[in-house]
Each structure stands twice: as structure tokens, then as C-alpha cells.
Amino acid sequence: MDLSFDLLGNALVSGLLLGGFYAAVTIGVSISFGMLDIVNIAHPAFIILGSYTAYIANSVFGFDPILSSIVLLPAFYLLGMAIYHVYDVSFERRGDASIRGLAFFFGVLFITEVTLVLVFGVDYRLVDAPYVGPSLHFGVIDLPLRLLVPFLVSCALIGSLQLFMSYTFLGRAVQAVAQDPMALRLMGANPSKIKRIAFGLSIASCSVAGAILIIIQPVEPSIARDYIGRIFAICVMGGLGSFGGTIIAAVILGVMESLTSTFYGPSWSPAVAFGFLLITLAVRPSGLFGRT
């Protein structure tokens, strides 16, 4: 039984670290879907885009993937603002955001994926950094730096977003939009300007999330789809737009997936996220910690 206890301990620890990473991947959707009510199903495609920009910075110029992703934040922020602008002009102002807005983002997801396939092919890509190989050891527990570094980066990302939301004027304005855009309009503020900034932030988070994704696993364009389910499962389970809920839901999912792939084999792990999502939607659609 010693062996399986080791296995269990390692599965729990790597699940915990994986959960931290999932939280970083989801945080953008917690902003766009949870707070702004924009169903950006193309979000994972932008994360993969972030992976590829980190890959280029790393393999062509030899930069550190995480540092380069932080440098690229403004570019992703502008991309997000541009996409929101198109979305706002074409759908929100016409009051026709539901079906066509969804189809729009679905199209964007598909275009991004196919373009990446055309440019980079379907080969798996990797980055090279000093923390990709080694592990720390504590007794029987292994802590691969490949998972630990993304976990720490992810904590920093979510922490700084939380500070921004709670303590700055703009952050509070975003929360106001999330609570009641109509009331904001009555106060004479323009919600679409604030939403544009918030959506920019949500896409900007993809740069960092993409960089830590390509540190954790090799990336090819179509893995975006595996993340759609995980991201929305976590976002819904975490109660839409609550950062704390997102982290807890992400860790639960990470641990469940890690246990499943350790004890039943990795081919079953995609079903965990989606099964969870279906059960959450059927039983408690407001999320584990959401207000009903």
C-alpha cells in the first residue's frame, strides 16, 4: 500500500498545482463571461495564441517565455479592446448579442485555430527554460518546477487582478458594470467604455496564461478545444465572476483530473471537466459559491 500512498500524495500535489494553473487560464473568462456577460468561447484560442507568441519569443530570440509574455501584455490588451469594439458595434448596440454574438466568437475561435494550423502546422511545440526540467523533492513527494513556476505565476496574476478590481477606480467601475450596467448608464457613465477596458484585460491575461500553458505541456493549435470545457466548467462552478470561487473550483477540478489520470488513465481526464460542468449546470447552475 506504500506505493499507492506515494501515488496518491503525488497526484494530490500535482492536482493542486494544476488547479492553480487552471485558475490562471480561467480568470479571463471570469471577467468576460462572469462579469461582463460576454460569452467569449474564443478565449482558449487566444490562450493558444499566447502560447505561440511565447514560443516564438523563446525559440527564435531566446527570451524567457514568462518574461516575454509579460512584455507582450499590452499587445494582447489592444487586441482584446479591438475585438470588443467589433462585438459592441455589431451586436451589443443592436441588442442582438445572443445567437449572433455566440456565432461570432465561435467563428473567431475557428479562424484563430485554422490560421495557427496554416502558419505553424499541427506539430507539438515546446519552450526551453531553466525550470522546465528539474524537480524539487520532499520525501516521497516530487514538486516539478515545470508545474510549480506556473502555479506561482498564476497566483501573482490573479492576485494583481484582484488588487486592481478592489482598490482602483477603474476596477471598481468594472465591478459596477458587472452588478448593474443599467444603473451605471443612469449615473451618466458609459458602460461600453468600461467593458472595453475589462475585455482588454481579459484577453491580456491570455498572454501569461498561454506562456505557462506551453511550459506545462507541449502545444498544438487544436488543444484550445480541450480547454473550452475546463474553463467554462471552472467559471460556472466558481459562481461566475468571483475570483475566489474560480480558484477553489480550479483546484477541485485539477485534483479530480490528476486523480483520474493517475488511477484510470489519461484518456479519461477530458471527460472529468465536462462531466463536472454538466452536473453543475443540472444541479446547481449558480455555482458552488454563487448567489442564488
Length of the chain: 292
- Among positions 164, 275, 288, 289, the unique one binding another protein when judged by CB under 8 A: 275
In the complex with another protein, the residue whose CB is nearer, 78 or 117, is 117
- State the nearest-atom distance from the C-beta of 225 to another protein, in Å: 6
Q: Which residues contact 159 (CB under 8 A, 6 or more apart)?
A: none
Residue 282 is a binding residue for another protein (CB under 8 A)? yes
- State the nearest-atom distance from the C-beta of 255 to another protein, in Å: 19
- State the nearest-atom distance from the C-beta of 286 to another protein, in Å: 10
In the complex with another protein, the residue whose CB is nearer, 69 or 262, is 262
Q: Which residues contact 213 (CB under 8 A, 6 or more apart)?
A: 21, 25, 47, 48, 50, 51, 150, 219
Residue 118 is a binding residue for another protein (CB under 8 A)? yes
- State the nearest-atom distance from the C-beta of 63 to another protein, in Å: 30
- State the nearest-atom distance from the C-beta of 278 to another protein, in Å: 6
Give the 3-state secondary structure of the chain.
CHHHHHHHHHHHHHHHHHHHHHHHHHHHHHHHHHHCCCCCCCHHHHHHHHHHHHHHHHHCCCCCHHHHHHHCHHHHHHHHHHHHHHHHHHHHCCCCCCHHHHHHHHHHHHHHHHHHHHHHCCCCECCCCCCCCCEEEECCEEEEHHHHHHHHHHHHHHHHHHHHHHHCHHHHHHHHHHHCHHHHHHCCCCHHHHHHHHHHHHHHHHHHHHHHHHHHCCECHHHHHHHHHHHHHHHHHCCCCCHHHHHHHHHHHHHHHHHHHHHCCHHHHHHHHHHHHHHHHHHCCCCCCCCC
Residue 245 is a binding residue for another protein (CB under 8 A)? no
- State the nearest-atom distance from the C-beta of 285 to another protein, in Å: 5
In the complex with another protein, the residue whose CB is nearer, 121 or 244, is 121
In the complex with another protein, the residue whose CB is nearer, 27 or 208, is 27
Residue 22 is a binding residue for another protein (CB under 8 A)? no
Interface with another protein by CB under 8 A: which range of 46-54, 128-136, 195-203, 222-230?
A: 222-230
- State the nearest-atom distance from the C-beta of 238 to another protein, in Å: 14
- Among positions 4, 74, 115, 244, the unique one binding another protein when judged by CB under 8 A: 115
Residue 179 is a binding residue for another protein (CB under 8 A)? no
Binding site for another protein (CB under 8 A): 39, 41, 86, 90, 94, 96, 98-100, 102-104, 106-108, 110-111, 114-115, 117-118, 222, 225-226, 228-229, 232-233, 236, 267-268, 270-271, 273-275, 277-278, 281-282, 285
